[in-house]
Amino acid sequence: MTINRISRNERLSGAVTFKDLVFLSGQVPDEGQDVATQTHEVLAKVDALLAQAGSDKDHLLNATIYLKDIGAGFAPMNQVWAAWLSPGMAPTRTTLQAELARPTVLVEISVIAARK
């Protein structure tokens, strides 16, 4: 069985594929002043990694979304998330509040998908 590691460094891989599954590490924004802007940026990174792994957002199985402040960030993140998803293709999802790695990061998203 082959495990393929994509966009890797000494600490982690951006994505790992095994059989017909794709696992993405938590994706964070490089910049962005608010949750909506950061969510757009993170979802663009998710799209790019899924494409490299032979998948796309329509093949998502699960998503985990971490918000720095769930009270302030839940509604704006959900607006961007809902607009990004294709109709009828929502994965299972967990959203929670967490202390994130950098103080400027307001949202982090990791996903599991099936290959196309």
pLDDT tens track for 10-26: 999 999 999 999 999 99
Whether the Cβ atoms of residue 62 and residue 91 lie closer than 8 Å to each other: yes
Place of tokens 């961007």: 80
User: 74 — phi, psi (to 5°)?
Assistant: -60, -50
Please provide the CATH number assigned to the domain covering 3-114: 3.30.1330.40
pTM for this model (two decimals): 0.96
Residue extents of the structural domains in the chain:
3-114
| pLDDT tens for each residue of 51-84 | 999 999 999 999 999 999 999 999 999 999 999 9
| Spatial CA neighbour of 15 closest among 47, 58, 59, 61 | 47
